[in-house]
């Protein structure tokens, strides 16, 4: 499984398990990385994805944003 598929799988897990009846989950990049079980996804991979999403670029993964401060990804938000 490639990294994008692994991230999508992790987001599905977060939406089902961690968000529950809520509307979003906010956590640290390493928490999102730890939810990816089937590929070697790194915090840098998540940073690049969030940076692209935050800049309005099209990405293959929907519903993920984050907070980047001083060039460092400090928080990730996943929406349903």
Taking residues 46-72, report their average pLDDT.
95
pLDDT of residue 38: 73
Q: How far is CA 34 from CA 3, 9, 11, 80, in A?
A: 13, 12, 11, 19
**In the chain, domain spans:** 3-79
Longest dimension (CA), the chain: 33
pLDDT of residue 20: 85
Q: Model pTM?
A: 0.87
How do residues 8-57 score in pLDDT, each as one tens digit? 999 999 999 999 889 999 999 999 999 998 778 999 999 999 999 999 99
**What is the dotted CATH code of the domain comprising 3-79?**
1.10.10
């Amino acid at each position: 499984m490639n990294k994008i598929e692994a991230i999508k799988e992790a987001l599905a897990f977060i939406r089902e398990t961690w968000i529950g009846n809520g509307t979003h989950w906010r956590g640290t990049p390493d928490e999102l990385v730890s939810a990816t079980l089937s590929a070697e996804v790194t915090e840098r991979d998540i940073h690049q994805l969030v940076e692209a999403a935050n800049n309005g670029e099209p990405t293959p993964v929907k519903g993920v944003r984050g907070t980047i401060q001083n060039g460092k990804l400090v928080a990730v938000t996943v929406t349903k």
